[in-house]
């Protein structure tokens, strides 16, 4: 895997994870749809995803975040995200050859504060896909973050589409944002619906 373009994507994991929150208990009626056709950050890919009723759709501030879906209630902030990154001309073939263990090593950068675990290689709509848990520990603008996110990464053409799902609580007294594996387990049904909603429209 040395020198493979997919490795470059791992360096964006920390920055993205710092803003990826999701909270269970909200509407699981996924009747809202985002269509990427013509969106400048979709890098020419046409796909759709669905998100829960009552959530707000927002543009991503960072270059590769196509869309955010947010719901705020008290100290909890719900936010799913869609990211698209260029893997280079050999990206799709690299994904096919990458094992779950190699993927875990790539997304567990030493000294970055992030580590991947529970990696499972599968397929989504006939394309190579990886499901994994990303743990992030970092400090940003005076706030301490300890986040656990579940991510689906789908390799399609020369791009990687990543859907992010997590759960966290903001403690204003200690200026910290924290999530746990238990939190993630509670939100698993919502995460699964979000992941399964991804349709690669330009395949049909």
Question: Is residue 158 one of the residues assigned to a domain?
Answer: yes
> Of the spans 23-27, 143-147, 190-194, which averages the highest pLDDT?
190-194
User: What is the CATH number for 142?
Assistant: 3.40.1000.10
Residue 189 belongs to some domain of the structure: yes
How confident is the model over 171-198, as pLDDT tens digits?
878 888 788 777 778 778 888 999 999 9
- Token code pair at residue 125: 């709509």
Contact 70, 60 (CB under 8 A): no
The pTM for the full model equals 0.82
Whole-angstrom distance, CA of residue 90 vs CA of residue 50: 29
Query: Does residue 1 form part of some domain?
Result: no
- What is the per-residue pLDDT across 96-115, written as a single tens digit (0 to 9) for each? 999 999 999 988 876 667 88
Q: How many domains does the chain have?
A: 1
Q: Would 54 be classed as within a structural domain?
A: yes
Distance CA 41, CA 4 (A): 23
Q: Is the pLDDT of residue 9 over 60?
A: no
Domain that holds residue 100: 6-203
What residues does 33 pair with on adjacent strands? 50
């Amino acid at each position: 895997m040395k020198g493979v373009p997919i490795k470059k994507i791992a360096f964006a994991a920390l920055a993205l994870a710092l803003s990826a929150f999701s909270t269970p208990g909200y509407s699981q009626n996924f009747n809202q749809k985002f269509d990427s056709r013509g969106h400048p950050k979709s890098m020419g890919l046409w796909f759709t995803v669905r998100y829960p009723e009552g959530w707000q759709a927002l543009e991503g501030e960072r270059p590769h975040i196509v869309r955010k879906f947010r719901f705020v209630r008290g100290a909890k902030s719900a936010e799913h995200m869609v990211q698209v990154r260029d893997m280079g001309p050999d990206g799709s073939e690299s994904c096919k050859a990458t094992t779950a263990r190699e993927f875990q090593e790539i997304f567990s950068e030493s000294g970055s504060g992030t580590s991947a675990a529970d990696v499972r290689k599968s397929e989504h709509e006939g394309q190579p896909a990886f499901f994994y848990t990303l743990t992030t520990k970092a400090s940003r603008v005076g706030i301490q973050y300890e986040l656990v996110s579940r991510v689906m990464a789908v390799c399609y053409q020369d791009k990687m589409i990543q859907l992010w799902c997590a759960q966290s609580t903001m403690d204003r007294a200690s200026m910290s944002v924290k999530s746990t594996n238990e939190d993630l387990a509670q939100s698993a049904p919502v995460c699964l619906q979000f992941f399964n909603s991804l349709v690669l429209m330009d395949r049909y």
